[in-house]
Amino acid sequence: MNNLPTIDISAFLKEDIGAGDLTALIISSSQEASATVVTREGMICCGQAWFDAVFEQLDANVKITWHCAEGDWVDAGAVLCELQGLARPLLTGERTALNLLQTLAATATQAHFYAQAVLGTGCKVLDTRKTIPGLRDAQKYAVVCGGCHNHRVGLYDGILIKENHIMAAGSIALAVERAKVIGSILLEVEVESMDELAQALEAKPTRIMLDNFSLDALRTAVELVNGRVELEASGNITLDNIRSVAETGVDYISIGALTKSVQAVDLSMRIDLEEE
Amino acid sequence: MNNLPTIDISAFLKEDIGAGDLTALIISSSQEASATVVTREGMICCGQAWFDAVFEQLDANVKITWHCAEGDWVDAGAVLCELQGLARPLLTGERTALNLLQTLAATATQAHFYAQAVLGTGCKVLDTRKTIPGLRDAQKYAVVCGGCHNHRVGLYDGILIKENHIMAAGSIALAVERAKVIGSILLEVEVESMDELAQALEAKPTRIMLDNFSLDALRTAVELVNGRVELEASGNITLDNIRSVAETGVDYISIGALTKSVQAVDLSMRIDLEEE
Amino acid sequence: MNNLPTIDISAFLKEDIGAGDLTALIISSSQEASATVVTREGMICCGQAWFDAVFEQLDANVKITWHCAEGDWVDAGAVLCELQGLARPLLTGERTALNLLQTLAATATQAHFYAQAVLGTGCKVLDTRKTIPGLRDAQKYAVVCGGCHNHRVGLYDGILIKENHIMAAGSIALAVERAKVIGSILLEVEVESMDELAQALEAKPTRIMLDNFSLDALRTAVELVNGRVELEASGNITLDNIRSVAETGVDYISIGALTKSVQAVDLSMRIDLEEE
Amino acid sequence: MNNLPTIDISAFLKEDIGAGDLTALIISSSQEASATVVTREGMICCGQAWFDAVFEQLDANVKITWHCAEGDWVDAGAVLCELQGLARPLLTGERTALNLLQTLAATATQAHFYAQAVLGTGCKVLDTRKTIPGLRDAQKYAVVCGGCHNHRVGLYDGILIKENHIMAAGSIALAVERAKVIGSILLEVEVESMDELAQALEAKPTRIMLDNFSLDALRTAVELVNGRVELEASGNITLDNIRSVAETGVDYISIGALTKSVQAVDLSMRIDLEEE
Amino acid sequence: MNNLPTIDISAFLKEDIGAGDLTALIISSSQEASATVVTREGMICCGQAWFDAVFEQLDANVKITWHCAEGDWVDAGAVLCELQGLARPLLTGERTALNLLQTLAATATQAHFYAQAVLGTGCKVLDTRKTIPGLRDAQKYAVVCGGCHNHRVGLYDGILIKENHIMAAGSIALAVERAKVIGSILLEVEVESMDELAQALEAKPTRIMLDNFSLDALRTAVELVNGRVELEASGNITLDNIRSVAETGVDYISIGALTKSVQAVDLSMRIDLEEE
Amino acid sequence: MNNLPTIDISAFLKEDIGAGDLTALIISSSQEASATVVTREGMICCGQAWFDAVFEQLDANVKITWHCAEGDWVDAGAVLCELQGLARPLLTGERTALNLLQTLAATATQAHFYAQAVLGTGCKVLDTRKTIPGLRDAQKYAVVCGGCHNHRVGLYDGILIKENHIMAAGSIALAVERAKVIGSILLEVEVESMDELAQALEAKPTRIMLDNFSLDALRTAVELVNGRVELEASGNITLDNIRSVAETGVDYISIGALTKSVQAVDLSMRIDLEEE
């Protein structure tokens, strides 16, 4: 799994290395080393291209051999990859490379758990625009890597009509009417009650977001809508209750927690110096 | 509390807004609105300058009034700030501004809990280089904002001698000797046993990191060292056991979890359109 | 019409001004001036925020008064705006500001003509990913400004299955099946014959692109599909024949020419020095 | 023809690829493919280094073989280059690479037609500062690639005295006098009448721009000046009348249309998947 | 003297401030202060806009009053400007602002001394492309500010034929012939002997650079050329001998030392805290 | 000596090459050449990685062979390196590569002279934050390369309490007390008299800066302090008097001149075209 996201590693290297790795100077510039990256937790491997780019930029001669594919599940204790090269670039790049991997894998792994939780229901789990500043693209990539799906990427590639837009337009019908004049590959309306759902249904958007609906209300909504428009559930949905929500028959469930928080995967790199 | 970190908001805005906020077009460009930001959790307020900069860049006429100071503790339910201006920039900037605030406050709040846990012990809690890629500066700022302290910022402003450097040099003594030739405002050695501690002590670095020492071992180390060099405990230290560690008498405790994970604070912005 | 696109004017200023405007030194630094921008062609006004930002960055005291709103049609000969301020920033910013305005207005004006051509048919005109390198966001904004609509912005916010993807998957059915596993806010299949259309229809994507279909074939397709999926016509469609295409009943027509070429609008800025 | 312009491809890739090419995931990551780029119009080939850099950045193993040199004329229907590599990077890079090539070739091809039109007259065709925002360098490069020549690149590397500078200085003589104090590798004065030409001639600049002079007036000017200073004609000059203008004996003709508009060359990339 | 160079201050601030000014936290965030910048050496004031931009970015409420104009000579001991505002931004911005001012003023002041040395000779002193990496634009600006003049800014805005180009072309005549086909606003040939000068003269470039000619040789060259082409002396020219060189009658003298070295002007900022 | 500083060469190339090297077009694109870089002054070699990156970016096939290691002393007249490749990239990259080398080597060489001057005294020479804007990282790297040492890199990685902070806090004791609450890897106090030294000593910072102390006063201070805290001398220290200062027994001497001024090393690249 590798769909070539855009990667600019230089700012990440700059914030760690700056004027240079002072401690690396203790080690001879010709010292060779090998290294292995091990995960202490089960995880979805995500961010290989970023990890590789760190060492590529520091020293194009570092060799990296991955023992898993991008997007694979890897058990706790497994070796993710082996590295071979000069000791200095291995030591200097270690933290930046691990920071990238542990952050992206965190999101991909969360995505994996959510995707597993709804397996077989036909329901898709979506991310949101609640992301870590600066990492929107990377996190959206990790979400797909983990088996979930992307909602709109930003304000520019989808219309999502919320309470304020409805109030400003005067009604759901008028808001959707205006939205159709604007046009977009997604035209979704957020509703907070059955009454609003009925109005939204009338207005024929691409999708309706059911915000904070109870399981019963979701079931009623699915029945009422009967496939005429896509339905997305959102609000207070966690790993604990997501399957019940998915089983109501909604098409999508969106989860802010996928990307707004990061529980870094616990990785370690063990470096061995070669005998000289 | 505001020590003027460097802030470049434009990349954050670009990833959300891109070609423009399509949904905002539903609302009249002259519609005025007010808004309040409320926190649903107790938190340290951190990131006001970033939040302000988002709206400043979108529309310099948006007025923001903060009800708390940067670095203050704010209870769940409290209003953090009020905004007044045109509805479009308020809606367009909402997510980017909240993403910044919820991410920085998350780190500051974690820092606050760690700082509180050691209160009165004289021990300082430090961050590490395990940070979210791209947010090193912002997270280091948030750590101070929350009452903890910064370790070296990167590989360039401190020497931290680890196992590999020691092996490459031949001994702790030789590694420290080389490090003194290099020089830096910090010269720290990581040790994993009492034996290594004794060697490190001999070598006279600025600070010694005691990696994964038991409480007993920490106490012994503190007694042995007797103030001749600063001591930093690290490894497997959490909010649950940090006070016991601090009470051993070490000068510093470093906590990777402070910055490598992010539990976004739960914030909401409520926007009210003005009657026209 | 202003939906706050992200604007970074500094690179544009840098490429024109560099070490400074040598010729401006001929004029006294206290010389005041006024200016008017006139269009020599009918146009949709697009890019006011970029134009304003040029002068804001050079000298925050330049006053700009627009005589038309963003998105308005303006006749040949009309005054678009008036400027008042020191002569130097007016002269120094003139070319960069006009280059932005003439380029964005070019796209918006083309979009306007296409939108007018299909008026009343219910068909929407879409842009494509054939854009001027570096101006994707700005051109997508201008397309909306001129009354047309955005297709997916890039490879990341929509799935468009073309011939190669179908061949790699083995069939349209298999390609769409894989695409549904990936998921996206848009899932479109490009077909080149009635036979492929039938297969695509079976696979139930969000939208089907009819590539280079004759008018007759488009009519047959519309009838066959009967509203079960959105239809988009593409290929060899120009201002001359677009209305006929729209009248076949397709939902969308995509036009590469909207953004891949630029016929800069002919603008001029007349600057008058104040008597001293 | 390759004079090594500075190329930064990453922003161009980012605007198309973002979080990744979703559709590419349909294709196996080990699928090999070959491709050919064909032009549907006669054109000057321009932008090979940019095209190559797109694929180099996506996957350094993509092999590209050009069938023409940078700057060559290529007939409609010709194969420009062949590519060989993994299918995913070929598909993912296709649009960005073609957008660059079709945009640069458009300018180079225009430049070629203008250069051909004046062939043998000894007159040189110049570009202007009317360029597509963000593409100043690339377009200046393409102009040279197509056989025309660069005027000053920006406000910083040449002095061009226009009406306002003359008014501010009081007279052409005084403006040129001030300009000589400033100094630059180019010192040009724009004149709009024979009378102004006489004054400019007296002031001894490097070059005089004859703005909107009739053919007769240009001939008179050339005779009058008699080689004492370079003459540049500008204003309302098109491919239709440029030869007549060149035959008046002016040294230069500057053409805003060379760079302010772009008629993208019609290119296509045909990709063939290898049998597995 | 202010011709509006492009200024991007953010990278300069980032390298000094990073995660924030820790020491500033000692001072109350409401503490007001005033400050004066004094020069300990005579200097040309250069870089006011950069200095101002530093504080504008840190805190728009800092007031700065300049006691000299950009480009003015200022005696040792003079107050350059006064600042008024909060103490924190004054202290935080001090070093970045002074670093910019002392660096730009260094170049402008050198330029001033060179310009003074040739005063009245009609000869102009030029800079070269030997500049501090990253400061090309700023130094070219400072050179003009100090009364000298810019040579070509880079490889793109002037042709300078040196020994290697001549060897590659086969002769000066052939090199110039090729250069005329390429075209540029400057076409200069470097010669190292009278013989080469004669060849160059024949080829009719815009300018001839006389490299390392003795004073006698320069005089002979000026006489020989007799105004038919501009002459530029270069090589081993210092403040001590520049007047003699200028008096030979050459039109230009180029001086690498103007920009390749920097003797920072000795400035100090004195900050006074207001009584509270 | 190579500790992998972060290097972004693209902005440096862009400022010299822009739209392309016009003069390079005189030379055949297949012309091969070799080159040698020679220093006309004794110098510390510093910046090899930057020099290499220039040519790597222009043409990955240029081969560079260094005759000295990074950080080595090289005598006047020595060949630093040899290059082999196409003539065009060698000529196009020459100036940018030399500008980098001559600037970094300038700082490293200065650092070398200062380090030599204190050899055997046990005193370390430090740089300051008085750096060339944009080159902080590169200069800090060069300082280490030349044998001196880095002070704090910016305002964020060390606390340095100066007069204003003391006044704002009320006393040295109070300022240091606040600083200890903030915390940092360096806590230094600047003092200007014996009396202040005594107060500072009481407050127990990491280091005390003795500003403008006479040699006698320095000796007294060293005796008084007797190793309880590190001492740093600063102010009016030059190559002429630094050894006397070092011999007083202070631990550090900080020298603004190391980085605030640049005396570019005199380098030349001789290029030889291969016979064809």
Task: Convert the pLDDT of each residue in A77-114 to its tens digit.
Answer: 999 999 999 999 999 999 999 999 999 999 999 999 99
Token readout for D12 is 């161009």
Distance from chain centroid for Cα D209: 20
Residue D155 has pLDDT above 50, yes or no: yes
Q: Is C261 helix (H, G, I), strand (E, B) or coil?
A: coil
Report the 10 Å Cβ neighbour count for E92. Answer: 26
Query: CA-to-CA distance for A116 and A105, rounded, in angstroms?
Result: 16
F95·E130 Cβ contact <8 A: yes
- Alpha-helical segments (H) within C207-249: 215-225, 242-246
Query: CA-to-CA distance for E22 and B185, rounded, in angstroms?
Result: 15
Q: What percent of chain F has pLDDT over 90?
A: 96
Please tell me if residue B97 touches chain A, with a CB cutoff of 8 Å. no
Query: Do C4 and B89 contact (CB within 8 A), yes or no?
Result: yes
Query: Do C259 and C130 contact (CB within 8 A), yes or no?
Result: yes
What pTM did the predictor assign? 0.95
Report the 10 Å Cβ neighbour count for D124. Answer: 21
Query: CA-to-CA distance for A179 and E112, rounded, in angstroms?
Result: 62
pLDDT, one tens digit per residue, over E80-100 is: 999 999 999 999 999 999 999
Please tell me if residue F112 touches chain B, with a CB cutoff of 8 Å. no
> Buried b vs exposed e over B105-123: b needs ≥16 C-beta within 10 Å?
bbbbbbbbbbbbbbeebeb
Residue A1 has pLDDT above 70, yes or no: no
Query: CA-to-CA distance for A140 and A228, rounded, in angstroms?
Result: 28
Query: Do D110 and D257 contact (CB within 8 A), yes or no?
Result: yes
Q: Is F37 helix (H, G, I), strand (E, B) or coil?
A: strand
Which chains does chain C touch, 3 or more C-beta pairs < 8 A?
Answer: A, B, D, E
For residue C172, the model assigns a pLDDT of 97
Query: CA-to-CA distance for B115 and B94, rounded, in angstroms?
Result: 31
Report the 10 Å Cβ neighbour count for D199. Answer: 18
Query: CA-to-CA distance for A132 and A153, rounded, in angstroms?
Result: 13
> Which of D121, D143, D164 has its CA nearest to residue D256?
D143
Query: CA-to-CA distance for E18 and D276, rounded, in angstroms?
Result: 53
Query: Do C218 and C250 contact (CB within 8 A), yes or no?
Result: yes
Query: Do A257 and A148 contact (CB within 8 A), yes or no?
Result: no
Distance from chain centroid for Cα A230: 22
**Four-point Cα dihedral B19, B20, B22, B28, nearest 10:** -150
Confidence of residue C1 (pLDDT cuts 50, 70, 90): very low
Exposed / middle / buried, residue F28 (Cβ in 10 Å: 0-12, 13-18, 19+): middle
E150·D156 Cβ contact <8 A: yes
For C251, what's the count of Cα atoms within 13 Å in the CB-facing half-sphere? Answer: 17
- DSSP state at residue F119: T
> Which of D257, D272, D263 has its CA nearest to residue D42?
D263
Which chains does chain E touch, 3 or more C-beta pairs < 8 A?
Answer: B, C, D, F
Q: Is E119 helix (H, G, I), strand (E, B) or coil?
A: coil
Give rounded-to-5 percent helix, strand, coil for chain D.
40, 20, 40
CB-closest option in B100, B106, B133 to A12: B133
Q: How is B15-36 classified by DSSP, letter by letter?
A: HHHTT--TGGGGS-TT-EEEEE
Instruction: Give how far Cα A107 sits from Cα of A3, A252, B95, B205, E34, Å.
Output: 17, 19, 19, 39, 49
Q: What percent of chain A has pLDDT over 70?
A: 99
The angle, 0 to 180 degrees and rounded to 10, between the axes of the packed helices C194-203 and C172-182 is: 40
pLDDT in tens, chain E (276 residues): 457 788 889 999 999 999 999 999 999 999 999 999 999 999 999 999 999 999 999 999 999 999 999 999 999 999 999 999 999 999 999 999 999 999 999 999 999 999 999 999 999 999 999 999 999 999 999 999 999 999 999 999 999 999 999 999 999 999 999 999 999 999 999 999 999 999 999 999 999 999 999 999 999 999 999 999 999 999 999 999 999 999 999 999 999 999 999 999 999 999 999 986
Residues in chain B: 276
> Which of F271, F275, F274, F273 has its CA nearest to residue F38?
F271
pLDDT, one tens digit per residue, over C81-118 is: 999 999 999 999 999 999 999 999 999 999 999 999 99
- DSSP state at residue A86: E
Query: CA-to-CA distance for B139 and A99, rounded, in angstroms?
Result: 14
> Buried b vs exposed e over F97-122: b needs ≥16 C-beta within 10 Å?
bbbbbbbbbbbbbbbbbbbbbbeebe
Q: Which residue of A has its CA nearest to B50?
A: A133
Report the relative pairing of strands D32-39 and D267-273 from DSSP bridges: antiparallel
Token readout for B191 is 């040790």
Q: Write phi, then psi, for D32 (nearest 5 degrees).
A: -95, 155
Residue with token string 């490097």 = D206
pLDDT in tens, chain B (276 residues): 467 788 889 999 999 999 999 999 999 999 999 999 999 999 999 999 999 999 999 999 999 999 999 999 999 999 999 999 999 999 999 999 999 999 999 999 999 999 999 999 999 999 999 999 999 999 999 999 999 999 999 999 999 999 999 999 999 999 999 999 999 999 999 999 999 999 999 999 999 999 999 999 999 999 999 999 999 999 999 999 999 999 999 999 999 999 999 999 999 999 999 986
Residue C232 has pLDDT above 70, yes or no: yes
Overall average pLDDT of the F175-198 stretch: 96
Instruction: Give how far Cα F181 sits from Cα of E25, F128, F159, F201, Å.
Output: 10, 25, 11, 18
Query: CA-to-CA distance for C179 and C184, rounded, in angstroms?
Result: 8
Residues in chain E closer than 8 A to C18 (CB atoms): 5-6, 137, 140, 153
Residue with token string 């063939």 = D272
Overall average pLDDT of the C47-71 stretch: 96
D137·F18 Cβ contact <8 A: yes
Report the relative pairing of strands E73-74 and E124-126 from DSSP bridges: unpaired
For residue A102, the model assigns a pLDDT of 98
Query: CA-to-CA distance for D48 and D70, rounded, in angstroms?
Result: 6
Q: What is the largest CA-CA distance in chain D?
A: 78
Give the amino acid at F17: I
Mean pLDDT value across chain E:
96
Beta bridge partners of B74: B43
A160·B23 Cβ contact <8 A: yes
Here the ipTM equals: 0.96
Q: Is A78 helix (H, G, I), strand (E, B) or coil?
A: coil
Query: Do F125 and F115 contact (CB within 8 A), yes or no?
Result: yes
pLDDT, one tens digit per residue, over A184-206 is: 999 999 999 999 999 999 999 99
> Which of F16, F31, F2, F46 has its CA nearest to residue F264?
F46
Q: Is F202 helix (H, G, I), strand (E, B) or coil?
A: helix
Q: Write phi, then psi, for A46 (nearest 5 degrees).
A: -150, 125
F153·A19 Cβ contact <8 A: yes
Restricting to A residues 174-233, those with a Cβ less than 8 Å away from any Cβ of C are 182-186
> Which of C259, C139, D18 has its CA nearest to residue B19?
C139
C5·B13 Cβ contact <8 A: no
> Which of F52, F48, F70 has its CA nearest to residue F1?
F70
Three-state SS annotation for C86-97: EHHHHHHHHHHH
Q: Which residue of E has its CA nearest to B138?
A: E19
Output the CA angle B119-B124-B127, nearest 5 degrees: 120
C186·A183 Cβ contact <8 A: no
Q: Which residue of E has its CA nearest to D151?
A: E185
Q: Is F190 a catalytic residue?
A: yes
Residues in chain E closer than 8 A to C21 (CB atoms): 3-4
Q: Is D207 a catalytic residue?
A: no
Which chains does chain B touch, 3 or more C-beta pairs < 8 A?
Answer: A, C, E, F
pLDDT, one tens digit per residue, over F242-276 is: 999 999 999 999 999 999 999 999 999 999 999 86
Q: Write phi, then psi, for F157 (nearest 5 degrees).
A: -120, 30
Report the 10 Å Cβ neighbour count for C61. Answer: 11
Region for residue D251 given its phi and psi (left: phi exceeds 0; alpha: psi -120 to 50; beta: otherwise): alpha
Query: CA-to-CA distance for C221 and A10, rounded, in angstroms?
Result: 50
Overall average pLDDT of the D91-103 stretch: 97
Query: CA-to-CA distance for F169 and F158, rounded, in angstroms?
Result: 18
Query: CA-to-CA distance for F271 and F86, rounded, in angstroms?
Result: 11
Q: Is D207 helix (H, G, I), strand (E, B) or coil?
A: strand
pLDDT, one tens digit per residue, over A142-165 is: 999 999 999 999 999 999 999 999
Non-local CB neighbours of A269 within 8 Å, separated by 6+ positions: A35, A36, A37, A38, A83, A90, A94, A97, A98
Query: Do A55 and A35 contact (CB within 8 A), yes or no?
Result: no
